[in-house]
Amino acid sequence: MHNEQYFSKLQRVQELLVTTVLGDIPTLILGPKLRNLGYRSIFAQICSPVYIQNGVEFNGTCCIEIGSGVYIFKGVRMDARGHKNNRIHLANRVAIERNVDIGSLENTYIHIDEDTFIGPNVAIEGPGDIKIGKHCLIAAYSGIYANNHNFADPIEPIKYQGVTRKGIVIEDDCWLGHGVTVLDGVTIGKGSVIGAGAVVNRDIPPFSVAVGIPARVIKNRIGKDLSISSN
């Protein structure tokens, strides 16, 4: 136990040293190339080439895997601390725009598959597992939250009543518009479009168009308009 704690602290010191030295080197003076080389010593996996701008915060790098052709822009925070089984995996050609926050928390697997774009100021948060498929578009200010607070006891403060964690799946080729919120336990089917500002609190079938609070399916992309029959 003591050896594990010592090794964990040693890893954290190494992580801080490497990210502090390399993390703020400006993009214009070979910063991404130096980070691509130097970060290999602390990440679980980092392929080449990877483009990481200056000003990106990483925590728990031994639990983070980054594929080839990934772009991570300034202001991103990626935190895999909290459990040795945590894993954040960015597959090939994922793009993470500015000020995105990705947090795994506890025994959590967050997987973002190939060619997916995450827009600025998006939050992707465990502790439930989160899987985002290939070729997805997640627009700015969206939130994907794989947890719910328990609140059955009116006496006990809510913060001490624990959380549930069912997990979230967003299948391939989905488009989430600006400011969409996806709540725990939801699966969004392949090829679906979620309108701006929607709150998704139940499963969405494949190839659906859904809008509103809570999100309601109004159309199937294969051709059936549901907006009249559902009223």
**Residues taking part in catalysis:** 149
* Contact assessment for residue 65 and residue 87, using Cβ atoms and an 8 Å cutoff: yes
**Tokens coding 176:** 């989430």
CB 168: neighbour CB atoms within 10 A?
A: 26
d(CA 64, CA 217): 35
Distances (CA, A) of 209 to 28, 50, 181: 42, 34, 15
CB 104: neighbour CB atoms within 10 A?
A: 30
Report which of 167, 168, 220, 213 is spatially closest to residue 193, judged by C-alpha positions.
220
* Contact assessment for residue 170 and residue 134, using Cβ atoms and an 8 Å cutoff: no
d(CA 175, CA 179): 12
| Residue 182 three-state SS | strand
